[in-house]
Chain A
């Protein structure tokens, strides 16, 4: 009888310790950030942006191409840093040599950034449009935005 009571007591302690460990361990989850660019009535031939978290609690784990056929290939980014788990921010760029009629106009999703988030606090994303250009390589006024999911 004493032995059984001791076993139950030990099990309770083990469960309590395991639960405490899950409480103290940092929460990790994954999320996706859709990046949109609105080029107005201009054909979008080239773009470049940078995405970061103000608190640097994200790790970029992958990047998807945009929705338009002119940008259906994966965009350019630092794959080595992402593969090494060292990308707490990312610079992404792509261009297309297609004709104006084959390029997107207005708002289009140019990329989706997949991130791993450490902690319970939602990331405070910072997105910056570095460049957007038309078919002549001329800068165009464009608006960049993100949508979290």
Chain B
């Protein structure tokens, strides 16, 4: 193929000059531009880090407050926590046999109170799986 064997001397001088000028054109970033870009990047991401740090302290304080509330102010008492307030007949703050007793007494005058309700309350009071139900 004759085209492949062509040398530079076979090409028109204008084309040779154009190709040479492209070869030598190495893009250069001036030092001042480079520094400006770095400064702006640092300013941008640096402010992000500051923003995170600003939230870190209040978040840690809130978490600590929650932990203090859970473990100190309201210590875990699995055996005495949740129970229906309706079961606390005598309003003592705890649900025990005295509430079942009073409910059974009320049942004498109030036919809407069933024996099944009294039995169910007694069942909850002595349940080993629901001992947390003893107090409101």
Contact = CB atoms under 8 A, between A and B. Distances in A.
A81 B80 CA distance: 19
Given A137-B90, A137-B105, A95 B125 contact: no
A91 B128 contact: yes
Contact of B97 (A81, A87, A97, A131): A131
B105 A93 contact: no
Question: Among B92, B97, B102, which residue has the most Cβ atoms of chain A within 10 A?
Answer: B97
A14 to B, nearest CB: 43
Given A93-B122, A97-B104, A137-B102, A130 B128 contact: no
A76 B128 contact: no
Contacts of B70: none
Given A48-B125, A76-B123, A130-B96, A91 B101 contact: no
A20 B115 CA distance: 55
Nearest to B122: A76
B96 A90 contact: no
A109 interface: no
Nearest to B131: A91
Interface size class of B (residues with CB under 8 A): 20 to 34
B128 A93 contact: no
Contacts of B122: 76, 93
Contact of A91 (B90, B98, B105, B125): B125
A75 B125 CA distance: 12
B97 A48 contact: yes
Interface string B67-97: 0000000000000000000000010100011
A89 B105 CA distance: 29
Contacts of A93: 96-97, 100, 122, 125-126
26 contacts: A45-B101, A46-B97, A46-B98, A46-B100, A47-B97, A78-B126, A78-B129, A81-B127, A81-B129, A86-B128, A87-B128, A89-B128, A90-B126, A91-B126, A92-B126, A93-B97, A94-B97, A95-B104, A97-B101, A97-B105, A97-B108, A130-B134, A131-B97, A133-B97, A137-B98, A137-B102
Given A77-B126, A81-B127, A131-B97, 13 more contacts: A46-B97, A81-B128, A86-B128, A89-B128, A90-B126, A90-B128, A91-B126, A93-B122, A94-B97, A95-B101, A97-B101, A133-B101, A137-B98
Interface of B: 90, 92, 96-98, 100-102, 104-105, 108, 122-123, 125-129, 131, 134
**Which 8 A-B pairs rank lowest in CB-CB distance, beginning with the nearest?**
A48-B97, A93-B97, A95-B101, A131-B96, A46-B101, A91-B126, A137-B102, A81-B128
